[in-house]
Structure 1
């Protein structure tokens, strides 16, 4: 079974709980912390150790997370440890964010550009995506000089490669055939 399928019921349960309590944003932060911990290779290696009991696995994650983790999240970690699902915490967080974005009518969009974008450029990209996707946009920007020029935009299933590097690769591919 794919890890996303294993994560789905946990994400759905957490999303239902977070929605009912009006704490979607807080749960986003909590799940991000737990996902970060579970994804750390050193922690993942220890979690895979066969000699640890489910309680010890849960306490390892919760000990690293610290005292700021609320009881509902502690119970989630314990349940996932009992079911041997702590390694899918990153997928639970990812699926939860997808459920939250759907419910709130938002989408995360990543723009990777060859150079830093100014505020006006970021706003134009956001406005264009908002119009095209009919959703509010949470824009995340990063710089990758290897793109040579232009940018690559990813929002959900949409990928727009307007980079010079992408254009050159497509041209090279066409010329090779």
Structure 2
């Protein structure tokens, strides 16, 4: 996996720079996400692995499937053709994930997932948003879910940052300390 991410980086950089130059980060994000979904689909992945298909045929298949949901610019089609020619279509999920990171950095935003013991009210979400905004110095996009097994508190996921403020997490740490 680390190797595929390493190989995906220059493609991601090229896609990001193209999208940035066009002022179209959102459309490229949608395109890459759809293309990644297409190549990850088992039935299509099996077809794309067929050695009898040319790179052009494989690229056209991806372009046609993505185009049914999202119109593709000529640059996006060229990008798919380049990946196909270099036998790198399977990198699209990595390219998409890396692209989203670059896009979030450019837009100074971060997607935050909050898992709480109970549904959060608007006031609680606003307070968490303000606190995380100050802590991370970024625009915060929150999605929250409830998980009663936490007993109380919240767990915050922001990129690779995890803040476990749940009662369940604190009890687990206490159990580890007692057993050590």
Confirm or deny a common fold (TM above 0.5).
yes
The verdict on how the C-alpha distance between 1:144 and 1:84 changes in structure 2, with shifts beyond 3 A counting, is farther
Is 1:90 equivalent to 2:97 in the alignment? Answer: no
Question: Cα distance, 1:73 vs. partner?
Answer: 1.3
The runs of 5 or more residues in structure 1 that have no matched partner are none
- Once the two structures are TM-superposed, the CA of residue 96 in structure 1 deviates from its matched residue by 1.1
| Alpha-carbon distance in structure 1 between the residues aligned to 2:99 and 2:162 | 22
After TM superposition, give the deviation of residue 9 of structure 1 in Å. 0.9
Kindly indicate whether residue 139 of structure 2 is the aligned counterpart of residue 136 of structure 1: yes
Among 109, 112, 118, the residue aligned to 2:112: 109
What is the aligned partner in structure 2 of residue 29 from structure 1? Answer: 30
Q: CA deviation at 1:83?
A: 1.0
Looking at structure 2, the residues matched to 121 and 102 of structure 1 have their Cα atoms a distance apart, in angstroms, of 26
Return the offset for 1:10: 1.2
* SS at structure 1 position matched to 2:72: coil
- Alpha carbons of 1:148 and 1:87: their partners in 2 closer, same or farther (altered >3 Å)? farther
When structure 1 is superposed on structure 2, of 148-157 and 42-51 the one drifting more is 42-51
Q: Please tell me whether residue 170 in structure 1 is matched to residue 152 in structure 2.
A: no
Following the alignment from structure 1 to structure 2, what is the Cα–Cα distance between the partners of residues 57 and 172? 54
Residue 168 of structure 1 deviates from its aligned partner by 2.7
Instruction: Quote the Cα distance in structure 2 between the aligned partners of 1:10 and 1:144.
Output: 38
Partner of 1:84, secondary structure, is: coil
Whole-Å separation in 2 of the counterparts to 1:10 and 1:107: 22
Which deviates further from its counterpart, 77-86 or 141-150? 141-150
Cα distance in 1 for residues equivalent to 2:152 and 2:50: 46
- SS of match in other structure, 1:101: helix
Structure 2 residue corresponding to 1:70, chosen from 52, 68, 73 = 73
Q: TM-score scaled by structure 2?
A: 0.87
Q: For each residue in 1:116-148, what CA deviation from the matched residue of structure 2 results, as whole angstroms up to 9, or x when unmatched?
A: 222212111111111011111122223334433
Deviates more, 1:137-146 or 1:149-158: 137-146
Moved more, 130-139 or 53-62: 53-62
Q: Tell me whether 1:150 sits opposite 2:153 in the alignment.
A: yes
Structure 2, unpaired ranges of 5+: none
The offset of 1:95, in angstroms, is 1.0
- Please tell me whether the aligned partners of residues 114 and 157 of structure 2 are also in contact (alpha carbons under 8 angstroms): yes
> Which residues in structure 2 correspond to 1:110-125 (within 5 Å)?
110-125=113-128
